[in-house]
């Protein structure tokens, strides 16, 4: 059994929350931030299970930039910052 480390981005859109895993390009949603995160974990699990069945899990992980070390699957990409910026739109 291997564990995978992913990133989850969560933002509020109206009365819903959207969750997104940029490494695997998978999204989900929920009525709360926690529900959106839980739903994202479920969708990722289903995606991983299906690629195992198809025999393409290692291809998916490699294409997403993941490597395995000591049964831990992770990417070498690290989030350094999230911030809002403001600048003019060219007219």
- Tens-digit pLDDT string for the chain (91 aa): 789 999 999 999 999 999 999 999 999 999 999 999 999 999 999 999 999 999 999 999 999 999 998 989 999 888 888 888 999 999 8
Q: What is the model's pLDDT at position 80?
A: 87
Gap between the Cα atoms of 56 and 49, Å rounded: 10
Q: What is the model's pLDDT at position 24?
A: 95
Residue-range domain boundaries for the chain: 3-75
pTM of the model: 0.85
- Closest C-alpha to 64, from 10, 26, 19: 26
Q: Which CATH class is domain 3-75?
A: alpha beta
Q: What is the model's pLDDT at position 55?
A: 97
Query: Biggest alpha carbon distance in the chain?
Result: 54
């Amino acid at each position: 059994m291997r564990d995978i480390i992913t990133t989850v981005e969560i933002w509020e859109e109206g009365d819903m929350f959207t969750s997104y895993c940029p490494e695997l390009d998978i999204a989900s949603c929920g009525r709360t931030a926690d529900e959106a995160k839980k739903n994202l974990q479920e969708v990722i699990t289903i995606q991983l299970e299906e690629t195992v069945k198809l025999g393409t899990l290692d291809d998916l992980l490699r294409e997403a930039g993941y490597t395995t070390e000591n049964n831990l699957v992770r990417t070498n990409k690290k989030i350094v910052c999230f911030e809002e910026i403001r600048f003019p739109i060219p007219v």
